[in-house]
């Protein structure tokens, strides 16, 4: 199985999150109170996904 470039994956997900935020702000109303809760949680999820993807596989290496 090919390894995933974790840095590119994380940067891409942060870019998507910022793009969705910008689209919501441009074309509709944006509830900043909700955004102040959801945006940090999204960044934490992206960080956890990066940590999980960066783990070394121990399957079959023993």
* CA–CA dist 37, 28 (Å, integer): 19
pLDDT tens string, the chain, 62 residues long: the values are 677 788 999 999 999 999 998 998 899 888 889 989 999 999 999 999 989 888 876 666 55
Residue 16: per-residue pLDDT: 93
Angle, helices 32-53 vs 6-27, to 10°: value is 160
**Which pTM value belongs to this model?**
0.74
- The total number of residues shown for the chain amounts to 62
Whole-Å CA distances, 2 to 10, 37, 50: 17, 35, 15
């Amino acid at each position: 199985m090919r390894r995933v470039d974790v840095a590119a994956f994380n940067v891409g997900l942060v870019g998507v999150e910022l793009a969705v935020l910008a689209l919501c702000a441009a074309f509709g109303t944006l509830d900043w109170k909700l955004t102040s809760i959801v945006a940090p949680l999204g960044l934490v999820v992206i960080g956890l996904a990066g940590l999980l993807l960066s783990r070394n596989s121990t399957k079959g290496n023993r």
